[in-house]
Each structure stands twice: as structure tokens, then as C-alpha cells.
Amino acid sequence: MVRLITHNLLACHAKGCTSNNFPLQFQDAAIELRDAEFNADFLRGFLPRIEWTALVGAARQLGDTSLPAEQPEMLDDEFLQKLHHVLLEVHVEEGAMVCPNCKHVYPISNGIPNMLLAEHEIG
Amino acid sequence: MPTQYLFVFAQVHDEFRIPELLSVAELYGFDIKFSEDPKERDTSRPFMILELKSEEHARLLAGRCILIKYVCEFYARGTSYEEMHERNRLRKPQWEKYIADTSFKFMVTAFNHTIPQRRQRDVVEGFAYMDFQGKIDMKNPEITLACFEEYPDRRGTIREKIEGDGEFDEVWFGRLIDVELARPLAKKFDVKKRAYFGNTSMEAEMSLLMANQTLASPGKLVYDPFIGTGSMAYTTAYFGAFVFGSDIDGRQMRGKAKPPGIIRAAAQYGVANRIMDLCTFDVTQNPWRCGELFDAIVTDPPYGVRAGAKRLGRKNQRQPKEGPPPVHVERPDDQQYIPPTKPYELSELARDLILLARYMLKPRGRLVFFLPTVTEEYEEIDVQTMLCEGMEIVANSLQNFGSWGRRLITVRKITTEKYPPPTFDPAHAVTENADVHVPAHKDFREKYFQGFKKNGSIADSSAQEV
Ligand SMILES: C[S@@+](CC[C@H](N)C(=O)[O-])C[C@H]1O[C@@H](n2cnc3c(N)ncnc32)[C@H](O)[C@@H]1O
Ligand SMILES: [Zn+2]
């Protein structure tokens, strides 16, 4: 926690921040790797929701280069294993996520990101 | 050929029984045939006969439904032993395969009554005509024949234990099917024995019933947007799903020690790696990048009695100060900045939740949530009017606490159309529009604290508050 699947689903939601507000950039990320259960159907079902470029970028930022820059057409087992690892087994425990647009800092502590907005940031 | 099975249910949460059966059958993809006669579907009685295509289906139900206590292959019933035995003789084709050399035992028991030992023996002897040749084995029989006497429910009346012995309404008989029951899970998830819980934790049995309403199973993703201390996350994850949780108050999810409380409790149940992630945010100001992510949303929304319903913003709409938030001293729970919150009225919250679910659920996904209601004022239309296009009620089960209660509402998304995320705009609130039906759960918090007094507007009676 924060896993990259989660990171791929969160965008900056500060008032007025509606473009270039995704993906959030990791800052001072402390990473832990933990095994997760492999479920091929889950991965196949979820893939259409994933922003591929953002996923590859986030993984690389954290030092994992196992995913190809282009999303492959063939979802073979070898690919699904890699995807599984990147989406579900890399956890950012400490650090922050920063909005590329408005620079809002969302701190991560004990694996829980604080996505609350301040008073002047709500719509 | 469908076979009749005798199901014996726990005498609690009556209104949850049929929805739970239907959910589990839907999850595994088979049909249950209920009796056409409404009297036979009376859930205040512990017994119910269901027609199923195979014994495997009976096993699947017992393995998931929290309210099932026993399952039998049904042989006969009667208002007297004579009547029951007469019918059981006609059922011989069903049990004759056990005559020759199957070891067996009898189980004779009663509901709302205790049968004295002596008569239990008489009851067993009454089955002598079945002429079972196998040996009686009390410890490890190949089959158990179960006989249940059903007495009227006399809750609250005092009487001798065995008074009225034999004056049962009905007697039921069948072959007990050896199944792994889900019911003991209610003990496993006991809140008191949990590594982390709080005063908002949902009790174990209800958390399990809720998880069943979500159709949780491996490979699914379920979301609790008011996760608190995570009670439903554990049961839902236990049934195989991944769970995502968020709450406006990080302290609810973390507790004091590390790792976060929800992770500690999940680890106790062996499901820590199925907690996808936990996030701190106000669901009305949420960071979701897109919709159609979840197979189900399960939640106990705040209704202001213990865990107040809040949303970011100030009560009296005073202009927020410009500039960055004030610097706060770092708090032990590492939430450096706690923004101000304002109350969130229940009927408004319920409608927002359904709109959010329509946006966030995949087609066919389910929203399962509790709606507190004022017992005397509740009308079915209260629930109908909070729906929006594309969302349909699957079940509505009351847990009655007297003057108030809460309804577990299960809603299904029946549309594949794309809808925008909800605006969470209080301007759409029910109050603002005089033509709109005002549900009994509106201003639930105020009504609760006034003890649900009838008559008199809320403004009047609040004056009497001490
Ligand atoms: C009834 S409790 C949920 C309890 C939970 N089922 C459990 O087992 O502990 C409601 C939760 O909603 C949270 N809450 C209140 N308003 C909220 C909002 N606007 N957004 C997100 N969470 C909110 C509260 O902090 C509280 O933890
Ligand atoms: Zn931003």
C-alpha cells in the first residue's frame, strides 16, 4: 500500500485542477514488495481501466522496468505475471504523491495516502 | 428432477433470510424454487422447504448462507406423528437405499421447546417400520436421520421447560446432509476478539450477511467508501474479493499502533493481502480518476448518531480564507491538517451514495448499504424515491430496534450506459423541492436524539432538548 493499481486510479481533485492532474508523481517513496494472490481473470478484467503509460511511468519511477512501453495485444501468462507484480506487489509505504499540475502534495504514511483537500481547494 | 430439501434457519434477522439465499444462488448460478404458498415462506418460522436441482446446491447454500443451521433431504412432515409417518412411508423410494447396511443414528430435537429424554426414545422407536438393518453408530454414522418438532414461538412468556410437551405445531423429518456450514463464521469474526475495532464496528453476523449481498468471490473488487474500522472488509475479503476502503477520518482506519488497525485485523483473518488499499478522503470530494471500477460497494454510511456524517466545508458557508492552510503541529496520527467539516443530512447522503454507485460500479454491480429509518413513519416509497435511473432494488431487509431500525438495501446497476460522477451538490437536496417526497429517514439524527417523538416539527421539539 499504496499499490500501483491504486496510484493508477487516483487523480488530483483540487478545485480547478482538471487537466494534467494525472498521474501523480511519487516523491521520496519508500517501497516494500509483498506477495499477492495471482488471479488472471481479475487482471484481464481490470486492464481496460488501466492508463498504460501512467502505469509504466510509475513503475519506472520506482525502479521497475519489467513492463513494455506499449501495452501488448497478447495477454499471455508471462505478461500477466509481470503485470500482477507491478500492479499488486509493489507497495509505497511512505513518501508522497504530488500533482504534476497544481503541485498539491498528498502525503503517504504507513501505506495510507491522505487525499483530503484543504479548505481553499474544495469546489 | 428437483428434490425437496428441508432447511432449518437461525431465528434471527428474518428479513435477511430470503435475500441471502437468492444472493448465494445467484453467485453460484443456480435456481431455488420456493413454495407458491406465502405461509410456507413465513420467515418467522425456522423451517423452510426449498426445491433444488442437486444436493450440491444445498451444500453451496449451507457453505455460504450465515442464517442456515441444518440442511436435510426432506422426507415428511405432519401436524401429528401419525400423519408424518404415513407420509414418510410413501417416501420409501427415497430412503430404501439405506435399509440394507448403512450405519445411522437419529437426532430428535425441538424448536422453542425441550423434549424430555424419555420421549426422545419413544420418537426414535416410532420409526421402527423403516426397518434399517445397518448398525446404530452414535459417533460416526454414515447417515443421520433428523426429526424436528416445531413449537409455537412463546418469546417472553414464562413457563416450565417441558410444559406442553408434544403440543407441537408440526413435526419435520429428513436425512441430515453433512455440510460445512458458514454459520460458525459469525464466531470467527466476533468483533470483541478482533485485533482492531472501534465503537462503530458492525457486528460479525451482519458483516457476513452484507458480504453475501455483495456476491463477493475471488477476482472481484469491492469498495467501502465509509470504511471506518473495516468490519465488512474482512468478511468480503474472506470470501475472496479484493477490498478498497476510504474514510474521511484516517484515525478510524489506523487506530494507534502500527501497522494500520485495518491491516492488523485483516492479517488476523489471513486476508491482509486482499485489502487493496486504504485512502483518507471525503467521498464527496473524491480523487477517483474514472468510474466502473467495482463489482460491489458495501457500506454502513454515517447517520450521525455515533460517527457523524460529515463533509468537507464549513457549516455556515463563511468564505474560506485565501492562501495555504494554517500550519498545524504534527499530530501523533500523522494527519497534519484536519480541514473543517459540516454536517451531511442522511437523505441527501443516501441519494448521493446511489449516484456514486451508478458511476463507480461495473454494469450488474451491487450497492449494499444500511439506511436507518423511523419505524412508524417508514414507507416503501422512501426507498423507491432515492433511486435513480439505471439502479434497481434487489432487497430491502429490516433490522428492527423498536422505534427505529435500519434497512439493509441492496441495489443493482442495471444499465451499461455511462453516467457522469455525481456532483454532490446540496442544492439538489430533497428539502429544496416541495414536490418531492420527503422520506422518513430525512433528518434521522435529529429524530433519533428526540426519541422519535411523533407530531411537532423538529424545530419545536429540539427546544425541549436538555
Ligand atoms: C458508521 S461508520 C462506518 C463503520 C464501519 N462499518 C466499521 O466497521 O467501523 C461511518 C464512517 O464514515 C466516515 N465518514 C463520515 N463522513 C464521511 C465522508 N463525507 N466521507 C468519507 N467518510 C466519512 C466516518 O469517519 C466513519 O468512520
Ligand atoms: Zn492538482
Burial of A40 (0-12, 13-18, 19+ CB in 10 A): middle
- pTM equals 0.91
Instruction: Please check whether residue B239 is in contact with residue B211, taking contact to mean a CB–CB distance below 8 angstroms.
Output: yes
Please tell me the total count of domains within chain B: 2
In a domain, B437, yes or no: yes
Task: Give the CATH number for residue B102.
Answer: 3.30.2130.30
Tell me, yes or no, whether B307 and B417 share the same domain. Answer: yes
| Distance from chain centroid for Cα A93 | 13
Kindly state the DSSP code that residue B177 receives in the 8-state scheme. Answer: P
Q: Mean per-residue pLDDT for B407-424?
A: 95
Q: Mean per-residue pLDDT for A48-55?
A: 97
Beta strand B47-52 pairing with B3-9: antiparallel
In a domain, B323, yes or no: no
Report yes or no: A5 at the B interface, CB cutoff 8 Å.
yes
For the record, the C-alpha cell of A47 comes out as 486492464
The identity of residue A21, as a single letter, is N
For the record, the C-alpha cell of B457 comes out as 416539527
3-state secondary structure at position B144: strand
Q: Is residue B309's pLDDT more than 80?
A: no
In a domain, B326, yes or no: no
* ipTM > 0.90 (yes/no): yes
Instruction: Please check whether residue B418 is in contact with residue B351, taking contact to mean a CB–CB distance below 8 angstroms.
Output: no
DSSP calls for B85-113 = HHHHHHTHHHHGGGTTT--EEEEEEEESS
In a domain, B327, yes or no: no
pLDDT in tens, A53-104: 999 999 999 999 999 999 999 999 999 999 999 999 999 999 999 999 999 9
- Could you tell me the distance, in angstroms and rounded to a whole number, from the CA of residue B439 to the centre of ligand 2? 38
What is the span of the domain harbouring residue A35? Answer: 4-121
Residues whose CB is less than 8 angstroms from the CB of residue B78 and which lie 6 or more positions away in sequence, other chains included: B84, B85, B86, B87, B170, B171
Tell me, yes or no, whether B165 and B226 share the same domain. Answer: no
Mutate to test the pocket of ligand 1, among B190, B222, B226, B300 (most ligand atoms within 8 A of CB): B226
**pLDDT on residue B157:** 67
**pLDDT on residue B332:** 42
Task: Give the CATH number for residue A11.
Answer: 2.20.25.10
Report yes or no: B273 at the A interface, CB cutoff 8 Å.
yes
Residue in A with minimal Cα distance to B253: A112
**Cβ–Cβ gap A9/B293 under 8 Å:** yes
Instruction: Please check whether residue A47 is in contact with residue A80, taking contact to mean a CB–CB distance below 8 angstroms.
Output: no
In a domain, B328, yes or no: no
Kindly state the DSSP code that residue B316 receives in the 8-state scheme. Answer: T
Q: In this structure, how many other beta carbons lie within 10 angstroms of the beta carbon of residue B355?
A: 22
**pLDDT on residue B15:** 97
For the record, the C-alpha cell of B184 comes out as 460458525
In a domain, B187, yes or no: no
pLDDT in tens, B67-101: 999 999 999 999 999 999 999 999 999 999 999 99
State what percent of residues in chain B have pLDDT above 90.
72
**pLDDT on residue B428:** 57
Nearest residue to A114 via CA among A122, A105, A101? A105
Please tell me the total count of domains within chain A: 1
CB B282 less than 6 A from any atom of ligand 1: yes
* Phi, psi for residue B187 in degrees, rounded to 5: -75, -45
What is the span of the domain harbouring residue B245? Answer: 192-313+337-449
**Cβ–Cβ gap B277/A117 under 8 Å:** no
